[in-house]
């Protein structure tokens, strides 16, 4: 009789373990499915940022560049406004860049003592 009870308990433990495993598998599968669904349906882009994601116009507006080139003010004419006074910046002229010219120096002549 003892052997039969022990055998019944053994099968009951196996049955409980199997039932726990099946329920755990169902819960984990449902959890993964809901997470995948949530990832596909939820937008992670902030609406404020989304307005900056519009594609740029690839053509270059040359009129704007020409306008900028015409508005160029040389640095010598920059006004400096201090209170009610307007001063103009004057830069000293730059000295011309010195060009380096290579000079070759001949090797000293060999002496008789060096030839030995």
Any domain includes 82: no
Q: Which domain holds residue 17?
A: 1-46
Q: How many structural domains comprise the chain?
A: 1
Task: State the pLDDT at residue 5.
Answer: 66
Task: State the pLDDT at residue 2.
Answer: 66
Q: Following DSSP, what letter does each residue of 36-97 receive, concatenated?
A: HHHHHHS--S-HHHHGGGSPPP-S--HHHHHHHHHT---GGG-EEEETTEEEE--PPPPPPP
β-pairing, 79-82 vs 85-88, is antiparallel
Any domain includes 27: yes
Any domain includes 65: no
Average pLDDT over residues 20-46: 91
Write the pLDDT tens digit of every residue in 60-96.
888 887 887 777 666 666 667 777 777 666 666 666 6
Any domain includes 15: yes
Average pLDDT along the chain? 76
């Amino acid at each position: 009789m003892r052997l039969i009870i022990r055998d019944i308990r053994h099968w009951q433990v196996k049955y409980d373990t199997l039932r726990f495993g099946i329920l755990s598998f169902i819960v984990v599968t449902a959890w993964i499915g809901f997470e995948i669904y949530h990832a596909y349906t939820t937008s992670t882009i902030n609406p404020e940022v989304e307005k900056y994601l519009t594609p740029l116009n690839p053509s270059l507006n040359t009129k704007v560049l020409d306008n900028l080139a015409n508005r160029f003010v040389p640095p010598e004419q920059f006004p400096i406004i201090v209170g009610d006074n307007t001063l103009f910046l004057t830069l000293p002229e730059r000295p011309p860049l010195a060009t380096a010219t290579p000079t070759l120096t001949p090797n000293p002549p060999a002496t008789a003592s060096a030839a030995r």
